[in-house]
Amino acid sequence: MCARTQPEDGEHARQTWYPAPTRAAGGRRACTSGTIGGEVLKRLVPGLVIGALIVGTSAVAAQDGGTLAAVQERGQVVCGVNGGLPGMSVLNEESGVFEGMDADYCRAIAAAVLGDASAVQYAPLTADQRATAIQGGEVDVIFRNTTRTLSRDAAWGDFGPTIFYDGQGMMVNADIGATSLEDLAGATICVTAGTTTELNLTDQMAFLGVEFEPVVAAEIDTVYGTYEEGRCDAVTSDKSQLVGRRSSFANPEDHVILDVTMSKEPLGPVVAAGDNQWGDIVSWVVFSTMEAEEQGITSENIADFAGGDNPVVGRLLGETGDLGTGLGLSND
């Protein structure tokens, strides 16, 4: 079931979360969502603001049709997310709002393309549903703690900028007393199927000469539920995921994240291959958030920057320049 909440004074509905006309990969219903502070996102990314930050940058010619046209006709961005990872994307059951960095980027895309940060349809995906979802057009973009690799870049679609540079780690039950990967000889280790994590685990343990027993599951809740129940001695994933999921455990203090980094994990968005216009839009929305941070612009002080003398900020806010039209968007 999906929940629905009412708007508070002066803002969009905080969340509308109900069955949508399309489905995510694997038959999951996608649901729609609003946002807190939608007007702020609309101001930060009008017309793909960041494209104007570099003086003399050549604008990309708008293309006919493609994902942008489909999104504008539909009136919503269908965004593939994890849906169960605190800090990245998770549904707050009390408020009905999707929370986390990935969810926020979905809203930023909607703000730039539709002028409405609430116009997002969230499609929760398992790790092994991501490729088919983007290739089959079931989602417009994926923001789902997804690592960019050569094989994925070649086969899945086009990756956007790295939004979080992570590394694979290992979490263990404190009772087993492990402090290194070598201490996990003979251990059972929970891991998510269809991820770089699964391959990295095999490679690292083979290199160290450590034998172990993998316990593999497709659903993230199954992986961590199995571990928390004590059926695995350890669980491995990106460190951000380990921290996020540990925070939801009944006794977080009983679990230790080892001081090891097993891989480099540059996480970023993915779009379908071949649609350069849409890929540019997603990339420049990401860049705009980075520039806003560098300029010290936040949701609370953005009004103080409007109408100022800084030309970079003027272009960032869409007050000057016309590069938005080069991406098929308005400048305001």
More confident residue, 31 or 14: 31
Let me know: does 327 contact 281? Beta carbons within 8 Å: yes
What stretch of H or E contains 56? none
Taking the C-alpha atoms of residue 40 and residue 45, their distance in angstroms, rounded to an integer, is: 9
Q: What is the mean pLDDT of residues 159-167?
A: 97
Instruction: Tell me what percent of the residues of the chain surpass a pLDDT of 70.
Output: 80
Q: Give pLDDT tens digits for 110-138.
A: 999 999 999 999 999 999 999 999 999 99
65 pairs with which residues across the strands?
Answer: none
Which residue did the predictor score with more confidence, 260 or 49?
260
Residue 320 identity = T
pLDDT in tens, 217-275: 999 999 999 999 999 999 999 999 999 999 999 999 999 999 999 999 999 999 999 99
The full DSSP string for 159-170 is: E---SEEE-EEE
H helices present in the chain, as ranges: 38-44, 66-74, 101-114, 130-135, 150-155, 196-208, 220-228, 239-246, 276-295, 302-305, 311-316
CB 204 within 8 A of CB 258: no
How many Å is the Cα radius of gyration of the chain? 21
The architecture (CATH level 2) of 19-164+268-327 comes to: 3-Layer(aba) Sandwich (3.40)
**C-alpha–C-alpha distance, residues 262 and 169, integer Å:** 6
- Per-residue pLDDT tens over the stretch 61-92: 234 579 999 999 999 999 999 999 999 999 99
Which tokens sit at 331? 């400048």
Question: If DSSP codes are grouped into helix, strand and coil, which group holds residue 181?
Answer: helix
Fold (topology level) of 168-263: D-Maltodextrin-Binding Protein; domain 2 (3.40.190)
The band of 202, judged by pLDDT with boundaries at 50, 70 and 90, is very high
Residue 2 CA to chain centroid, in angstroms?
Answer: 21
For residue 28, what pLDDT is reported? 36
Mean pLDDT of the chain: 83
Q: In what order do the strands lie in the sheet with 89-92?
A: 84-85, 89-92, 97-99
Q: What is the pLDDT of residue 331?
A: 74
Please check the confidence at residue 23 and state whether its pLDDT lies above 90: no
What pLDDT score does 332 carry?
Answer: 64
Query: For 60, how many CA atoms within 13 A lie in the half-sphere containing its CB?
Result: 18
Give φ, ψ of 88 to 5 degrees: -110, -65
Helix (H, G, I), strand (E, B) or coil at 192: strand
pLDDT in tens, 92-113: 999 999 999 999 999 999 999 9
Domain with CATH 3.40.190.10 in the chain: 19-164+268-327, 168-263
